[in-house]
Amino acid sequence: MTRRKLGTTDLEISILGFGASPFGNVFGDADPAEAIRAVHQAIDEEINFFDVSPYYGLTLAETRLGEALEGRRHNICLSTKCGRYGDRDFDFSAHRIRQGLEESLTRLRTDYVDLLFAHDVEFGSPEQIVEETLPAMRKLQEEGKVRYVGISGYPPGFLIRIAQAIPVDAILNYCHYNLLVNDMDHQLTPFAKERGIGLINASPLHMGILTEQGGPAWHPAPGGVRNAVRRVAELCRARGANLSDIALRFCFDHPDAATTLVGMSATQEVSRNVTAVDGGPPPEILKEIDAILSPVHNIIWISGRPENNLPA
């Protein structure tokens, strides 16, 4: 498994990252025993980056991941988050950041995490994130409970604005670099590269849209996007290919993203995703896919506070 350096940190992480949000039953009920087997298989396949959050399954994902990592913690790079604890439960205060991490460490059965992200910062005020949240996270770093700190969220511009105001070690951006959207590269990617900030790309399947199933009913993408993706799925089937495999490989090839996070909870998913790392799609099918998706390319939505969705 190829590994890349995360910015200027000393972390070398696999280009395929294990997203543990499915452990919290956010995409349907996960089999706890199978989830543990999936983690063990992933480590055996040299996947060494695991990401989770107390928000996923309202602490269930962290609890299950902690159980799966028992005795294997030293083999991996572990990331969790703070500040978001439910659909509408956000608390970026210094007190809650500290309390939340202590609770996460207990569930994860470890005394430190390699990365701690302020989760979905666009739902908070930039002043609090800069003046209270991140300084509290740096204090935890000084105490040895966190190795590196970062921010995660949806609007690339807001992530840039935060990182311009206060240094961070890593930025996690989701749904802004895949077959449907590439505006992460318009400003965020060059910004992170220039500053030496580690960049993590998440949701290469655009929250499930770039699959045979076409994504969950709650997905914010408009009907035109869904229709275009259905046509792409039909094209892939006609070419003897799988849309999800092509979408994953497209993201793994990004030269400046240290890792691409993919949600997994079963051994079959681990095997398929590892195979996608090594199997590049033929250039001709990517051209056909791009032709179908170009009319709906870079359609995005509002996340968090409207004012936090403005360009950097």
Which CATH number does the domain housing residue 160 bear? Answer: 3.20.20.100
pLDDT tens string 142-171: 999 999 999 999 999 999 999 999 999 999
Q: Could you tell me if residue 293 is inside a domain? A: no
Name the pLDDT band for 179 (thresholds 50, 70, 90): very high
Q: Which two tokens stand for residue 290?
A: 């791009």
The pairing of strands 3-5 and 12-14 is: antiparallel
Q: What digits encode the pLDDT tens for the residues 18-35?
A: 999 999 998 889 999 999
Q: 213: buried, middle or exposed (CB in 10 Å: 19+, 13-18, 0-12)?
A: exposed
Residue 214: pLDDT band with limits 50, 70, 90? confident
Distance CA 280, CA 282 (A): 7
Number of domains in the chain: 1
- Report yes or no on 227 lying in a domain: no
pLDDT attached to residue 82: 98
- Rounded to whole angstroms, how far apart are CA atoms 168 and 138? 9
- What is the average pLDDT score of the chain? 96
Residue 84 lies in a domain: yes
List, in order, residues 6 or more apart from 304 with CB less than 8 Å away. Answer: 120, 121, 122, 123, 124, 153, 154, 155, 158
- Taking 80 as the threshold, does the pLDDT of residue 282 lie above it? no
Specify whether 174 is catalytic. Answer: no
Q: 8-22, 166-180, 193-207, 281-295: which range is least confident on average? A: 281-295
97 is a domain residue: yes
Q: How confident is the model at residue 208 (pLDDT cuts 50, 70, 90)?
A: very high
Query: Distances from the Cα of 38 to the Cαs of 81, 165, 243, 295, in angstroms?
Result: 22, 39, 22, 38
pLDDT on residue 218: 84
- Is 296 inside a domain boundary? no
Please state, in angstroms and rounded to a whole number, the distance separating the CA atoms of residues 169 and 116.
10
Q: With pLDDT > 70 as the criterion, what percentage of the chain qualifies? A: 99
Spatial distance between the Cα atoms of 219 and 208, rounded to a whole number of angstroms:
8
- What pLDDT is attached to residue 28? 84
Catalytic option among 55, 56, 85, 154: 56
> Does residue 147 lie within any of the structural domains?
yes
Which pLDDT does position 147 carry in this prediction?
Answer: 98
Placement of tokens 């983690």 in the chain: 39
User: What confidence score (pLDDT) does residue 294 get?
Assistant: 97
Domain annotation covers residue 272: yes
Binned at pLDDT 50, 70 and 90, residue 279 comes out as confident
Confidence category of residue 283, pLDDT binned at 50, 70, 90: confident
Q: What is the pLDDT of residues 47-89, one digit of tens each?
A: 999 999 999 999 999 999 999 999 999 989 999 999 999 999 9
The whole domain housing 191 covers 3-207+248-280
Specify if 238 maps to a domain.
Answer: no
Q: DSSP label at 196?
A: T
Model confidence at 186, pLDDT cuts 50, 70, 90, reads very high
User: 126 near 157, Cβ under 8 Å?
Assistant: no
